[in-house]
């Protein structure tokens, strides 16, 4: 599964670039690499991703850095000699900036989800939808004769309820109702938090990239020519992806037959 660790690293590669190092030695929380060459403290307040070893798949801010060593902010990392790490300098984006950019896309990214909390009652045609279920796209009801499901085309969503036009004799009384609906993905907070597999990762990276440079321009009041160039590049990505409507590709259109009659 793709995690917040993976997508922040991917965004950092694209937006700023990262460097790969093999750990030469570890003393307490101090991590050294003979190849690091940390010029002018460029990794101070930067970002660290652990690629191998006990803490593989975890990231951290860098709280101090000098010459050939860094000290991560996350004191729980287990890093050993020979482990591979990736580092992104603090210029222009911190780890918090990368996470915020990713979440700026995910919190409103539409995905397809399923709910199976309701059960079929042969004497009931109206069901209150769970509080989190809205924008229903598909309804399946357990088959009375087998372990399969029958797709219903005789329902409508109205006022937080699911109304069936008629009962279906093949539905199992007490059987599970599976409701397919659209919802927003929502934010991720920990490096190990997983993305829904339907998320288009290229779209996510490019829209997060746009967010980063838009933020730079807003903060610096358009005085940064590099930011302006990067923003324009990101707008090209946005235009290309928007016209294909990528986030919607895995979301089925509401059934043509869903109606009262």
The first and second tokens of residue 61, run together, are 């801010």
Q: Please provide the CATH number assigned to the domain covering 17-91.
A: 2.40.10.170
Residue 258: band (very low, low, confident or very high) from pLDDT cuts 50, 70, 90: very low
Higher per-residue confidence, 236 vs 36: 36
Determine contact, residues 4/39, Cβ cutoff 8 Å.
Answer: no
Q: What is the C-alpha separation between 6 and 10, in angstroms, rounded?
A: 6
pTM of the model: 0.81
pLDDT tens-place string over residues 101-141: 999 999 999 999 999 999 999 889 999 999 999 999 999 99
- With 70 as the cut, is the pLDDT of residue 237 above it? no
- With 60 as the cut, is the pLDDT of residue 24 above it? yes
Q: What is the C-alpha separation between 29 and 74, in angstroms, rounded?
A: 9
Q: For residue 216, give the nearest of 108, 106, 101 by alpha carbon.
A: 101
Query: What pLDDT is recorded for position 260?
Result: 37
Enumerate the domain spans of the chain: 17-91, 110-184
| Cis bond before residue 92 (omega within 30° of 0) | yes
């Amino acid at each position: 599964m793709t995690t917040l660790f993976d997508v922040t690293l991917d965004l950092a590669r694209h937006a700023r670039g990262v460097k790969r190092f093999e750990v030469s030695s570890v003393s307490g929380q101090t991590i050294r690499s003979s190849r690091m060459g940390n010029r002018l403290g460029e990794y101070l307040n930067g970002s660290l991703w652990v690629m191998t070893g006990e803490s593989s798949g975890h990231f951290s801010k860098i709280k101090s850095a000098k010459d050939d060593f860094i000290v991560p902010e996350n004191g729980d990392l287990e890093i050993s000699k020979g482990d591979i790490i990736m580092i992104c300098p603090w210029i222009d984006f911190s780890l918090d900036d990368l996470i915020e950019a990713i979440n700026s896309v995910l919190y409103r990214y539409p995905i397809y989800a399923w709910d199976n909390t309701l059960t079929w009652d042969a004497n009931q045609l109206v069901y209150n939808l769970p509080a989190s279920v809205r924008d229903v796209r598909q309804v399946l009801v357990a088959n009375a004769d087998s372990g399969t499901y029958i797709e219903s085309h005789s329902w409508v969503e109205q006022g937080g309820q699911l109304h069936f036009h008629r009962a279906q004799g093949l539905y199992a009384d007490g059987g599970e109702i599976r409701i397919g609906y659209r919802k927003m993905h929502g934010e991720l907070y920990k490096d190990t938090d997983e993305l829904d597999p339907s998320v288009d990762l290229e779209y996510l990276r490019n829209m997060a990239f746009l967010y980063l440079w838009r933020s730079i321009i807003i903060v610096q009041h358009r005085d940064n020519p590099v930011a302006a160039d990067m923003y324009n590049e990101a707008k090209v990505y946005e235009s290309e992806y928007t016209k294909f409507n990528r986030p919607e590709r895995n979301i089925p259109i509401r059934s043509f037959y869903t109606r009262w009659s």
